[in-house]
Amino acid sequence: MIAIIDYGMGNLHSVSKAVERLGYNTIVSAKEEEILAADAAILPGVGAFGDAMDQLVSTGLDKVVKQFVATGKPLLGICLGMQLLFQSSEEHGYHQGLGLLEGEVVRFQGDFKIPHMGWNKIEFKQASPLFHQLEEGYVYFVHSFHAKLKQQENLLAVGDYFGPVTAIVNKDNVFGMQFHPEKSGELGMALLKNFLALIKK
Amino acid sequence: MLAKRIIPCLDVKDGRVVKGVNFVNLRDAGDPVELAAQYDKEGADELVFLDISASVEGRATMVEVVKRTAGEITIPFTVGGGISSVDDMTRILRAGADKIGINTAAVLNPTLITEGSRRFGAQCIVVAIDARYNEEWQDWEVYTHGGRKASGKRAIAWAKEVEALGAGEILLTSMDADGTKDGFDIKLTRAVVEAVNIPVIASGGAGKVEDFSEVFIEANADAGLAATIFHYKELTIAEVKADLKLKGVEVR
């Protein structure tokens, strides 16, 4: 069972359907016991960082996410869900994140179109079971803020949009994708599939 | 850098695709969901559904189509047609669409752009502009109501205005080029692309593979949209992309 963590932000339907198409059962849930019982969990999210953290904290799901990570089972943050894994964000003021990964989320700066929206190529920076039998290719991004990591060893893949863009991050059993794997064609589905394959049988 | 996008558009009425459909191997060629999945497999980068239902029942059916589509495809999609309030937007986005297209409602009530953008983020709000050259003005004019009503607004000025109001993207249809298969309207597209700093999807006039490279290279559009030529298999997405790659245009 794969838990899609429901904290009132974002497009849960597409993510849960994508996981189901890969042959897994899903449960969209905000309940501690259901989430902790899952084999893997996905933290989705669309919207503003501060609102999302407020939602997580007020529902107690911030603690549930951390408890889940402590079990060693795989967690995947998608888009805003990935950004929430970091220590902080400067989106509409300073906000604290979950702090599962070291680094901060900052706004794109420069004379170019923001949000970074569309298909962009990602480059794999290091070997990972996530890239099993995969080649680099295009994935679908929609975001105005991006993550700056403190530890480069946590960086699995980058995109290029007037400078490097953190695309996939990983520390132990915590994974994050800035783009939407559920909206990224075959490569996106393959990345999701490889993430779910991390579940210990 | 971002890849240029190729976007097929499906006209849907009461839950059925209305424009000619020429796909083989489909159980039900009139089912928008199955057609959407087919385009996804063929390499479309995004899809647009235009709901042309005139009835309340038709609109309700569209929500079901959106839900089923979101469960089937692996690329983003926009839904337009008949959306005139934040509640309409909520319904469609909750059903799983990635973006909302507004056209007539945006002209009649520009604050809708701002409200939608604040609520869902600019990336969700696509303003569709139907433009036709007005000889008297020597400029392009915006049309509403499916191209039946002249609005008195100038297209370039309106494009800038919708960006300022919070639109995340412009879907620009040239009524002069639409249906001609003579290629996209390069002058209009370039004028709008140069006027705004948000992505512009060029629409109307695509008839052959080279039309896409022309609109990307000459007019710097971010995406090219077409309906009939893809539905009737006059062109495939793979052919269009192969030609673009040959010309050095970045595609997925």
pLDDT digits (tens, 9 = 90+) for B151-178: 999 999 999 999 999 999 999 999 999 9
Q: What is the pLDDT of residues A151-186, one digit of tens each?
A: 999 999 999 999 999 999 999 999 999 999 999 999
Which residues sit opposite B131 in a β-bridge? B142, B174
Residue in chain A lying closest to B44 (CA): A185
With cut-offs at 50, 70 and 90, classify the pLDDT of residue B236: very high
pLDDT confidence band for A83 (50 / 70 / 90):
very high
Q: Which residue of A has its CA nearest to B94?
A: A11
CB contact under 8 A, B123 and A11: no
What pLDDT band is residue B59 in, cutting at 50, 70 and 90?
Answer: confident
Confidence at B27, pLDDT banded by 50, 70, 90: low
pLDDT at B29: 66
Of A47, A113, A119, the CB nearest to B198: A113
Whether the per-residue pLDDT at B232 is higher than 60: the answer is yes
pLDDT at A155: 98
B252 shares contact with chain A (CB less than 8 Å): yes
Mean pLDDT of B62-75: 94
- pLDDT number for residue A176: 98
The mean per-residue pLDDT over the stretch B194-219 comes to 97
pLDDT surpassing 70 at residue B191: yes
Partners of residue B98 in chain A, C-beta under 8 Å? 11, 142, 183
- Provide the pLDDT for residue B233: 85
B195 at A interface, C-beta within 8 A = no
pLDDT for the residue numbered B25: 56
CB contact under 8 A, B2 and A118: yes
Rounded distance, CA A71 to CA A53, Å?
Answer: 22
- Asked if B138 has any chain A CB less than 8 Å from its own CB, the reply is no
B74 and A117 within 8 Å at the Cβ level: the answer is: no
Residue B149 pLDDT exceeds 60: yes
Annotation marks residue B11 as catalytic: yes
**Span A102-125, pLDDT tens digits:** 999 999 999 898 889 999 999 999
Highest mean pLDDT among B50-59, B115-124, B211-220, B232-241: B211-220
pLDDT at B19 over 70: no
Residue in B40, B130, B185, B211 annotated catalytic: B130
Contact B96 A115 (CB under 8 A): no
Q: With an 8 Å Cβ cutoff, is B42 touching chain A?
A: no
The number of C-beta contacts closer than 8 angstroms across A and B is 76
Residues of B in contact with A11 (CB under 8 A): 70, 93, 96, 98
Of B70, B71, B123, Cβ closest to residue A142: B123
- pTM here is 0.93
CB B140 within 8 A of CB B155: yes
The total number of residues shown for chain B amounts to: 252
Active site residues of A: 79, 180, 182
Instruction: Taking residues B126-154, report their average pLDDT.
Output: 96
pLDDT band at A14; cut points 50, 70, 90? confident
